Amino acid sequence: MNALLASFSLVPPVLLGVGLLRWVGLAPSTRLVDITLAAGLSLPLGLGLSSLAHFALLQMMGLPLMASLALEMALAILLAAHHPALGAGWRPPKHDEATRGVVGGATLLLITTVSAAVSFVANLRRLPHGDWDAFAIWNLKARFMFHRPHSLGWLSYWQLKYSHPDYPLLLPGIVAQGWLMVGDAATAFPALIAALFVFGVCTTLMAALWKARGSFHALAGGVLLLGTPFFIRHGASQTADVPISSYILVSIVALWLCHRGEANPRLLVVAGCSAGLASWTKNEGIPFLILVILAAAAFPFRGADLRRRLTNGALTVLGAAPAIAVLSVFKITLAGANNILTRATWGNLAVWARWWLILRRVGQGVIGFGGWPLNPALLLLLSFALGRSRAAEQQASCRASVLLLAMLAVYVGIYVIAPDIEFHLDTSLDRVLLQLWPAWIFCLAAGVPTWPGSQTRMATGWRSRLVQRTVHPHDVHDGPPKN
Amino acid sequence: MPWRAHRVEGTEGAAPDFAALLQTLALWLAMILSTTFGARAAVTETHRARQVGDPHATERYEGLAARVRHDLPAATTLGYFTDGRAENFYKFQYAMVPVVLNPDGSGKIVLGYFPAGLTSGSARLVAEHGLTMTRAMGDGVFVLTR
């Protein structure tokens, strides 16, 4: 019952997320696809921003809970009130690219959803307080934040060093806020948050694919994600890997849409905001944030000149600014040293045996990822290798994949310098692959062309120049070229 | 050079290419495999949840901590002493929040946990560390003082 009451604490964050999306112009109509996308994006963004507000106002300034909730509501109203003209920020899809296979896809999705729900509940019943990392790190911190809402002194206690005091506090903040609202640390509430993130990521993925490609691709993405046994099992363990995967997905979706040609610069603000929240979820989010900022500047969607590149990078930083500010305060004043970086051996970068071991293990991890006997996504990768299309969607997917590969390279680099290499590989490799998994599914599914059907091809060379003369880039979403 | 997608005239209705066919088939196959393996995992994990239960037994520690918290004086830090597995400390610490436990057993009041009960070996260990058994809380939990 208390968990149900605590769920009311989710209302202001969700409204904040909706307000942000309206400001961006991503929820311009009452169409089902737009509403689904708004729901899918507003939940993680709103929860993340709410966690930032909670940390800043309660933990740092010692203000009451109402201050945090009031700020969230005020921001939601402010953002929603300043949204662009309806439809101005979003290019409406001309048609649903793929309508064939929808019935078959929907049937598979129904089976997969039921399987995922059964599996999720079974794991929750087995581990009501979550798996090891949940009660040793995330829920432990949430309990301290609940019992000591205006102090973070416990982060520096030597007795709690095992709980990694340097880990960011997005997930504990969300849980603690719900508990504070009802005055009881109900066990079911973190489980509810876990369910929201697991099925919320799926909603985000499906809505983004629906918006980007069509209903069949959305169904395919949903089936691939919910049909991943490890994703469901680990999602129920109440750790922060699925939440960070949610933020990585939102950033990738926003960048993908930019790369495909949505000339909406506010999408970069969303990409930056989500990447910033990823950095407030787990330390792995920090290199991701840097990569997103670099990607926004390196893959310009509105022109290649230096000024444009800098503007794109600045917009991404603007979106990430709240998270960067809070994370900086946390890291400088409260967080202890990172247990990997303090014991890192940089000379290991030159030890080729370590590189070989890690690459071999990563390769094995990718092939065996997900809890399947064989990763079905490899079939898609193989099909891409056998035949490439010049479709705009596939090129956008390639560009987003570069970012994900760079993130994978960062993980490999950290493994190389880390002490206890075997221990780290055994305990974290499948989890870091999981963090990128929904975004990989998005890139793969969005890159699959419609068959049979018409293609959307990328304008290059003389065609591009012709288009440039006839359509100004800023008019892309405003319909036909203006005279 | 700005680049963006646009529909190339003349491609609509054209013969679909081999790559598109291959990738669509691969997507279907991946979906069917995901559905099959996902359903199989649901059956396996439901069975495992019934058979194995919580390997960490966190609910048990919640119950023990609730009992201890009622009977101990309000304190922010307690010692923790055990002859059992070291990992039990993390479960007790989680259950005892906001009380902080000293894993080295230091402190005037110490929470003792002896999963196998107070054997002669554990009693000797308690004495060696200068601790006195003050109260038995049941299920291997004791309040010790120094």
Interface of A with B in 207-246 (CB under 8 A): 220, 223-224, 226-229, 232-233
Do residue B34 and residue A372 have CB atoms under 8 angstroms apart? yes
Residue A382, SS3 per DSSP: helix
Residue with tokens 């959803």: A113
Determine which of A95, A111, A119 to mutate to test the interface with B (most B C-beta atoms within 10 Å). A119
Residue A1 banded pLDDT, cuts 50, 70, 90: low
Pick from A452, A96, A467: nearest CA to B8: A467
Residue A84 banded pLDDT, cuts 50, 70, 90: low
Q: What is the DSSP letter of A345?
A: -
CB-CB: which of A125, A132, A377 is closest to B30?
A: A377
Predicted pLDDT of residue A83: 60
Sequence-ordered strand ranges (E) for A256-295: none
Identify the closest residue of chain B to A110 by CA–CA distance. Answer: B35
Predicted pLDDT of residue A467: 35
Percent of the residues in chain A that have a pLDDT greater than 90, as a whole number: 40
Identify the closest residue of chain A to B54 by CA–CA distance. Answer: A126
Start-to-end C-alpha separation, chain A: 61
- Residue A131 tokens read as 């798996």
Q: Which residue would you say has higher pLDDT here, A319 or A12?
A: A319
Residue A262 banded pLDDT, cuts 50, 70, 90: low
- Residue A1 tokens read as 């019952």
Predicted pLDDT of residue A474: 38
pLDDT over threshold 70, residue A263: no
Do residue A451 and residue B94 have CB atoms under 8 angstroms apart? no
Q: Which of A26-35, A50-59, A191-200, B9-18 has the lowest mean pLDDT?
A: B9-18
pLDDT over threshold 80, residue A22: no
Q: Which amino acid is at B62?
A: E
Min Cα–Cα distance to chain B from A320, Å: 25
Q: Taking all residues of chain A, what is their mean pLDDT, rounded to a whole number? A: 82
- Compute φ and ψ for A282, nearest 5 degrees: -145, 160
Average pLDDT for A167-184: 91
Min Cα–Cα distance to chain A from B108, Å: 16
Note the pTM of the prediction, 2 decimals.
0.87
- Angle of helix A188-212 versus helix A241-260 axis, rounded to 10: 20
Please give chain B's pLDDT, 146 residues, in tens: 333 444 444 444 444 567 777 878 888 888 999 999 999 999 998 998 888 888 888 888 998 888 888 777 666 888 999 887 888 899 999 999 889 999 988 888 898 898 888 788 888 888 888 888 888 888 888 888 88
Predicted pLDDT of residue B12: 45
Predicted pLDDT of residue B138: 83
Do residue B20 and residue A449 have CB atoms under 8 angstroms apart? yes
Q: Which residue would you say has higher pLDDT here, A288 or A79?
A: A288
Average pLDDT for A101-114: 91
Residue A457, SS3 per DSSP: strand
Q: Which residues of A touch B38 (CB under 8 A)?
A: 111-112, 115-116, 119, 226-229, 232
CA distance linking residue A320 with residue A421, whole number of Å: 32
Tens of pLDDT, residues A280-303: 999 999 999 999 999 988 876 555
Q: Which amino acid is at B125?
A: L
Predicted pLDDT of residue A477: 39
- For the CA atoms of A232, A238, A239, A240, what is the dihedral angle to 10 degrees? 90
CA distance linking residue A261 with residue A156, whole number of Å: 48
CA distance linking residue B25 with residue A201, whole number of Å: 25
Do residue B23 and residue A105 have CB atoms under 8 angstroms apart? no
The pairing of beta strand B132-138 with beta strand B141-145: antiparallel
Residue A96 banded pLDDT, cuts 50, 70, 90: low
Predicted pLDDT of residue A373: 78
- Compute φ and ψ for B142, nearest 5 degrees: -135, 150
Q: Which residues of A touch B14 (CB under 8 A)?
A: 454
CB contact, 8 Å: A385 with chain B? no
- Residue A445 tokens read as 């599914």
Do residue B17 and residue A389 have CB atoms under 8 angstroms apart? yes
- Residue A296 tokens read as 């926004």
Contact between A21 and A41 (Cβ < 8 Å): yes
pLDDT over threshold 70, residue A436: yes
3-state helix, strand, coil in chain B (%, to 5): 45, 20, 35
CB-CB: which of B27, B54, B58 is closest to A220?
A: B27
ipTM score assigned to the predicted complex: 0.85
Tell me the β-bridge partners of B144: B110, B133
Predicted pLDDT of residue A450: 67
pLDDT over threshold 80, residue A427: yes
